Amino acid sequence: MKKYIKLVTSALVFASMLFTTSIAPSFAQEIQEVSGGGGGGATLLPVYSQDALRNYALSIVTNGSRYVHSESMDWNWSDRITYTNVFGAYAEDVLEKLFASEFRYRLTNPEDLIRGYVYLYDSKNNLLFFGYAEYTAETLKKEKPQYNIWMQNVPLLSGVESAEVLALDEDGHTARRYPLQVNNGQVMFQSWMAGSPNGILVVRFTDGTVNTFNLSQPSGETPSSTSEVAAYKVDGHYILKIPAFAEKPAVLKILELWTRPTAFLELGAKNTVTIDVMGLVQQDGKTLFERPKSMEVMDIGSGQRWNIELSTEQPTPLTFIAGKYRIRFNWVNFGKPNMLYTGPDGGGKG
């Protein structure tokens, strides 16, 4: 006669879950805020510690399944019961029903391992917890199998388009970015990140709003906007703009040490501009300032180009009509380019 194994497991009670029968008011409020989120409306998230996140995840479990498997399972046995699926109000309720179910199965090789699996889901079928146990027919005669259950990614908020966690360095600068999965408009938050003192959760909603949450505290905020008026400087390039009603003549004054300069000149009306440009030259053990002998001018409006002779002894006043001009200077010695290196590579023989 073939033997069969009858497995009946009673309700699995975790001491760490007993407190959920009387949820503290702050946690209840936290759940309400998260569940009612969307479009940036949520202001509290249980991301500031793993226990707070677990507490929340346990409270939103609505269904689960459990099944067992073995390599020598007699799948054709008519009395076999190796799978169950139940619904409940929260994780402890679902777990109690799952582990109260009676499993019946038969192994053709009683020495084979029996592997058990538990899955807990929320109302949107997001996997919140996964459990596993491994045992044999012989150990079942002595004790009940103990399933270890681990929290998975936890869905938060609603109406989410994208999300990421910023990891900050010692100076508070973003050093790394961790993109998070979004499933059915919810952030699938990774539990190991909860409570991180140098993490910021950034959530962008489908309505365009953005919320940020420090992972060390539950409250979130909308990033403030920053207004900026910046300046710029192109190395070796100078910009001079003269309005139409300038009160005094303008001077294009440039003193360069190494780089041959260029200039952009804009005049709102006809005006006199004094060209006072010099470059530092070191020659024959002497240091002196050289002025360019001429300059090449391009009228940006017409594209015409022409050369203008400049005094090499003093500044040169020139009259320009209204317009925009690009200027390049012609030198004798200043800013001569360096020779390219033609020697061997490396410092020694290979």
- Give the whole-angstrom CA distance, residue 38 versus residue 151: 24
Q: Is residue 121 part of a domain?
A: yes
Q: Is residue 231 part of a domain?
A: no
Q: 200 and 64, same structural domain?
A: no
Q: 195 and 277, same structural domain?
A: no
Question: Which of 124, 153, 182 lies at the terminal end of a domain, its last residue?
Answer: 153
Number of domains in the chain: 3
The percent helix, strand, coil of the chain (3-state, each to 5) is: 15, 40, 45
Q: 193 and 77, same structural domain?
A: no
- Give the whole-angstrom CA distance, residue 221 versus residue 214: 9
- Residue 123's nearest CA partner among 85, 158, 88 is 88
Question: Letter for the amino acid at 22?
Answer: S
Q: Which residues of 223-253 are buried (b: 16+ CB within 10 A; e: fewer)?
A: eeeeeeeeeeeeeeebebebeeeeeeebebe
Q: Is residue 216 part of a domain?
A: yes
Question: Which of 123, 153, 183 lies at the terminal end of a domain, its last residue?
Answer: 153
CB proximity list for 99: less than 8 A, separation 6 or greater: 9, 10, 11, 12, 66, 147
Question: Which of 129, 153, 177 lies at the terminal end of a domain, its last residue?
Answer: 153
Low-confidence spans in the chain with pLDDT less than 70:
1-43, 219-230, 347-350
- Residue 320's nearest CA partner among 292, 337, 297 is 297
- Residue 323's nearest CA partner among 263, 270, 262, 249 is 270
Q: How many CB atoms lie within 10 A of CB 317?
A: 13
Q: How many CB atoms lie within 10 A of CB 333?
A: 11
φ/ψ bin of 189: left (φ > 0), alpha (ψ from -120 to 50), beta (otherwise): beta
φ/ψ bin of 306: left (φ > 0), alpha (ψ from -120 to 50), beta (otherwise): beta
Q: Is residue 228 part of a domain?
A: no
Q: 118 and 26, same structural domain?
A: yes
Q: 204 and 87, same structural domain?
A: no
Q: 135 and 13, same structural domain?
A: yes
Q: 206 and 102, same structural domain?
A: no
What pLDDT does residue 11 have?
Answer: 32
Q: 128 and 17, same structural domain?
A: yes
Q: 193 and 112, same structural domain?
A: no
What pLDDT does residue 43 have?
Answer: 55
What CA–CA distances, in Å, run from 98 to 6, 54, 108, 263, 308?
16, 20, 26, 80, 93
Q: Number of C-alpha atoms within 13 angstroms, CB side, residue 112? A: 14
What pLDDT does residue 224 have?
Answer: 62
- Tally of helices (H runs) and strands (E runs) in the chain: 4, 24
Q: 130 and 257, same structural domain?
A: no
Q: Is residue 226 part of a domain?
A: no
- Sign of the alpha-carbon torsion through 180, 186, 188, 189: positive
What CA–CA distances, in Å, run from 120 to 58, 89, 220?
9, 12, 28
What pLDDT does residue 341 have?
Answer: 81
Q: 46 and 144, same structural domain?
A: yes
Q: Is residue 318 part of a domain?
A: yes
Q: Is residue 347 part of a domain?
A: no
In terms of residue numbers, what domain contains 96? 5-153
Q: Is residue 227 part of a domain?
A: no
What pLDDT does residue 290 have?
Answer: 94
Q: 114 and 56, same structural domain?
A: yes
